């Protein structure tokens, strides 16, 4: 055993084989034994707080379509990371999150900065949490973590590794394994679904984030066109899954039980593909489905088949499901589908500050390059985004899957890093509320250090605007803590090393946005905006 490789060497060999050569992290004393002798062909992406570290890795994995590797500091770092883990779990992002642990010699007596109950702490937001029973098991534990992270439904996994494991002799080279990334649907049941779709008079389709994630955008279009049915997006999507300028597209379903039921009233069969039934948010009572409407669901996630309150479900990856289903359904491509009702609300394009949400989004629609992906976390202006900047391409729309804010800024950074890693040149547009901008603000430092092509447009309405609309819905006057005075966001951005500019008119917004497109690094554009009250019921 004198010349045996160390656990450190064998693990790095394995990570290299698996293509996991980018480590997103924030280091501590318990991680330095892993990071020691960091190989030249690996990249360490430093995030200044763990919420940013994990959400950057999430964006990176979503851009590259591959798992990403994270390293955080024992219990304290895991705690900071947890909000972002929730989003990765809900968004089916394959992440291998590692954390250091105090040395095995001392761990029983709970030294400073140890991670007791290390496999319990990240639950339930990881698919698997493990601390190897022996140092020699570390490489194989990584292999198992990789397989589990990718296997449907994909998601984060967690490894806690005692700091003294890395220098121990390894058992030998790690066994490299593969596992399937897709689980095919049961064909018999798919045929049954096809028959019910063929028997429908007025079917409707609802597509959700799994469609885009599984590369099924074109398959969804082909299926919808053959069925000749109106298409909705599930509520609060974290990815767009259908061209939102397509003649069949009707918009997003409402976020409430009552609202969804109302919209689906005229349909006899509703087919939900790659989405939860449904991602409800405010409680507005009603029937889950209108009388006489049947619901069919196809998803790769057994939690979502379980959570559906109504309907019949089929478990399986949506790409093979759509590819098979399209050959099983009758051709109704000539069925008349009325175009979506365009919003009739008046557009307020007030040209000087504070700008309306309409003015900001319509201006962005005139200057955003067609290939720029949109990352959005501007909670009170979802309607303006849908109206002025619909998604028309795959892998071009990203939002938090959990509803926790503080995901958008670091995710935009990760997406830009992922684009660069796979050789794609495009500028990321991140539209962020002034409240949401603060939660993981330090991610913009990473963007500046890597000179990433990102334009952050921060809507400075000086409040948590959506929560004021919730106060109306919930009839809760007098809630404190909803105003945000005294934040100089451009100065913050400058302090983190970004270009930053305040704009006070639509012309200046357009001008600065265009300048930012050719800048060598990220720009933060701060736009004073009028609060945007919305009707949530
Ligand atoms: C981690 C987290 N904390 C708190 C909330 C509750 N919350 C939802 S929206 C919101 C305010 C968002 O404000 P801003 O980004 O300024 O957008 P606006 O509503 O003003 O458009 C808050 C605090 C949340 N969703 N996630
Ligand atoms: Mg705000």
Distance in Å, CA 339 to ligand 1 centroid = 33
Q: Is the CB of 22 under 6 A from ligand 1?
A: no
Q: Whose CA is nearest to atom 26 of ligand 1?
A: 404
CA quadruple 291, 293, 294, 297: dihedral, nearest 10: -110
Ligand 1 atom index nearest CA of 532 = 21
Q: Are 295 and 312 in contact (CB under 8 A)?
A: yes
Q: Are 311 and 278 in contact (CB under 8 A)?
A: no
Q: Is the CB of 464 under 6 A from ligand 1?
A: yes
Between CA 83 and CA 406 the distance in angstroms is 9
| Structure-block tokens of residue 24 | 């997103």
Per-residue model confidence (pLDDT) at position 3: 66
Per-residue model confidence (pLDDT) at position 123: 97
Q: Is the CB of 405 under 6 A from ligand 1?
A: yes
DSSP labels, 189-233: HHHHHHHHHHT-SSEEEEE-HHHHHTT-HHHHHHHHHHHT--EEE
Per-residue model confidence (pLDDT) at position 186: 97
Between CA 11 and CA 140 the distance in angstroms is 9
- Cα angle vertex 63, ends 155, 395, to 5°? 100
Q: Residue range 14-23: average pLDDT? A: 98
Q: Is the CB of 208 under 6 A from ligand 1?
A: no
CA dist 454 → 42, 54, 132, 251, 414 (Å): 24, 19, 39, 27, 11
CA dist 364 → 20, 199, 213 (Å): 36, 44, 26
Q: Is the CB of 406 under 6 A from ligand 1?
A: yes
Ligand 1 atom index nearest CA of 484 = 16
**Hey, which residues does 280 pair with through a beta bridge?**
none
CA dist 314 → 172, 185, 186, 292 (Å): 43, 7, 8, 21
Residue 536, pLDDT > 90, answer no
Question: Which residue, 454, 433, 471, is CA-closest to 523?
Answer: 454
Instruction: Identify the weakest region by mean pLDDT among 72-86, 263-277, 331-345, 471-485.
Output: 331-345
Ligand 1, pocket-test mutation among 384, 466, 529, 530, most atoms within 8 A of CB: 466
Distance in Å, CA 192 to ligand 2 centroid = 48
Q: Is the CB of 462 under 6 A from ligand 1?
A: no
Between CA 307 and CA 224 the distance in angstroms is 25
| Structure-block tokens of residue 244 | 């939102």
**Cβ-count burial 98-116 (b if 16+ within 10 Å, e if not):** bbbbbeeeebeeeeebbbe
Instruction: For tokens 């900001």, name the residue.
Output: 360
Q: Is the CB of 408 under 6 A from ligand 1?
A: no
Q: Is the CB of 431 under 6 A from ligand 1?
A: no
Between CA 100 and CA 32 the distance in angstroms is 8
Distance in Å, CA 459 to ligand 2 centroid = 7
Instruction: For tokens 């087919």, name the residue.
Output: 271
Taking only the tens place, the pLDDT of each residue in 29-43 is 999 999 999 999 999
Ligand nearest to the CA of 51: 1
Taking only the tens place, the pLDDT of each residue in 95-125 is 999 999 999 999 999 999 999 999 999 999 9
| Structure-block tokens of residue 136 | 């020699």
Element (DSSP H or E) covering residue 162: strand 156-162
Q: Is the CB of 379 under 6 A from ligand 1?
A: yes
The whole-model pTM stands at: 0.98
In eight-state DSSP terms, residue 240 is -
Distance in Å, CA 82 to ligand 2 centroid = 24
Per-residue model confidence (pLDDT) at position 1: 52
Distance in Å, CA 381 to ligand 2 centroid = 10
Q: Whose CA is nearest to atom 23 of ligand 1?
A: 464
Q: Is the CB of 83 under 6 A from ligand 1?
A: yes
Taking only the tens place, the pLDDT of each residue in 360-385 is 999 999 999 999 999 999 999 999 99
Assign 83 to helix, strand or coil.
helix
Distance in Å, CA 486 to ligand 1 centroid = 17
Ligand nearest to the CA of 468: 1
Distance in Å, CA 404 to ligand 2 centroid = 15
pLDDT band at 90 (very low <50, low <70, confident <90, very high): very high
Distance in Å, CA 463 to ligand 2 centroid = 4
Q: Is the CB of 467 under 6 A from ligand 1?
A: yes
Between CA 403 and CA 409 the distance in angstroms is 14
Residue 63, pLDDT > 80, answer yes
Q: Whose CA is nearest to atom 10 of ligand 1?
A: 464
| Structure-block tokens of residue 193 | 């679904």
Q: Is the CB of 466 under 6 A from ligand 1?
A: yes
Instruction: Identify the weakest region by mean pLDDT among 280-289, 304-313, 439-448, 456-465.
Output: 280-289
Q: Is the CB of 236 under 6 A from ligand 1?
A: no
Between CA 364 and CA 372 the distance in angstroms is 11
**Hey, which residues does 25 pair with through a beta bridge?**
46, 71
Taking only the tens place, the pLDDT of each residue in 280-293 is 999 989 999 999 99
Please name the residue ranges forming H helices in 329-476.
357-367, 382-388, 408-421, 443-449, 465-473
Instruction: For tokens 């299926």, name the residue.
Output: 223
Q: Whose CA is nearest to atom 1 of ligand 1?
A: 404
- Can you give the three-state secondary structure of 266-330, one letter per residue? CCCEEEEECCCCCCCCCCCCCCCCCCCCEEEEEECCHHHHHHCCCCEEEECCHHHHHHHHHHHCC
CA quadruple 203, 208, 211, 212: dihedral, nearest 10: 140
Question: Which residue, 438, 343, 454, 432, is CA-closest to 379?
Answer: 432
Q: Is the CB of 385 under 6 A from ligand 1?
A: no
């Amino acid at each position: 055993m004198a010349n045996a490789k160390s656990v450190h060497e064998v693990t790095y060999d394995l990570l290299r084989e698996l293509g996991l050569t980018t480590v997103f992290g924030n280091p501590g004393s318990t991680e330095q034994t892993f990071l020691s002798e960091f190989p030249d062909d690996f990249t360490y992406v430093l995030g200044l707080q763990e919420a940013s570290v994990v959400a950057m890795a999430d964006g990176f994995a979503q851009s590259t379509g591959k798992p990403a590797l994270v390293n955080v500091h024992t219990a304290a770092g895991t705690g900071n990371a947890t909000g972002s883990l929730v989003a990765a779990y809900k968004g089916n992002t394959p992440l291998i999150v590692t954390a250091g642990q105090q040395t095995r010699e001392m761990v029983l007596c709970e030294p400073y900065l140890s991670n007791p109950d290390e496999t319990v702490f990240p639950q339930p937001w990881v698919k698997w949490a493990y601390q190897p029973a022996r140092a020699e098991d570390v490489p194989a534990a990584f292999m198992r973590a990789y397989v589990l992270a990718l296997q449907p439904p994909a998601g984060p996994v967690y490894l806690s590794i005692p700091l003294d494991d890395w220098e121990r002799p390894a058992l030998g080279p790690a066994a490299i394994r593969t596992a399937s990334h897709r689980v095919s649907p049961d064909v018999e049941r798919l045929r049954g679904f096809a028959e019910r779709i063929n028997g429908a008079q007025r079917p409707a389709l609802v597509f959700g984030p799994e469609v885009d994630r599984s590369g099924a955008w074109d398959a969804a279009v082909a299926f919808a066109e053959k069925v000749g049915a109106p298409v909705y997006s599930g509520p609060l999507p974290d990815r767009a899954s259908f061209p939102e300028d397509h003649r069949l597209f009707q918009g997003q379903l409402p976020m409430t039980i009552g609202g969804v039921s109302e919209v689906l009233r005229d349909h006899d069969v509703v087919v939900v593909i790659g989405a939860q039934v449904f991602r409800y948010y405010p409680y507005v009572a009603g029937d889950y489905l209108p009388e006489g409407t049947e619901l069919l669901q196809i998803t790769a996630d057994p939690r979502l088949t379980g959570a559906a309150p109504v309907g019949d479900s089929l478990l399986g990856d949506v790409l093979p499901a759509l590819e098979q289903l399209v050959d099983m359904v009758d051709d109704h491509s000539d069925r008349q589908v009325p175009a979506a009702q365009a919003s009739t609300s008046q557009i307020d394009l007030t040209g000087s500050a504070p700008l309306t949400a309409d003015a900001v989004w319509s201006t962005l629609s005139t200057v955003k390059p067609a290939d720029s992906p949109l990352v959005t976390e501007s909670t009170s202006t979802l309607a303006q985004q849908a109206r002025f900047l619909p998604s028309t391409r795959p892998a071009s729309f990203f939002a938090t899957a959990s509803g926790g804010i503080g995901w958008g800024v670091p995710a935009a950074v990760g997406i830009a890093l992922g684009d660069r890693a796979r050789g794609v040149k495009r500028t990321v547009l991140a539209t962020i509320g002034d409240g949401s901008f603060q939660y993981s603000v330090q991610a913009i430092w990473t963007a500046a250090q890597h000179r990433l092509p990102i334009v952050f447009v921060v809507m400075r309405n000086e409040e948590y605007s959506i929560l004021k609309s919730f106060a109306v819905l919930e009839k809760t006057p007098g809630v404190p803590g909803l105003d945000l005075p005294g934040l100089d966001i451009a100065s913050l951005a400058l302090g983190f090393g970004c270009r930053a500019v305040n704009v006070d008119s639509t012309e200046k917004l357009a001008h600065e946005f265009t300048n930012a497109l050719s800048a060598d690094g990220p720009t933060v554009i701060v736009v004073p905006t009028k609060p945007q009250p919305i009707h949530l019921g």
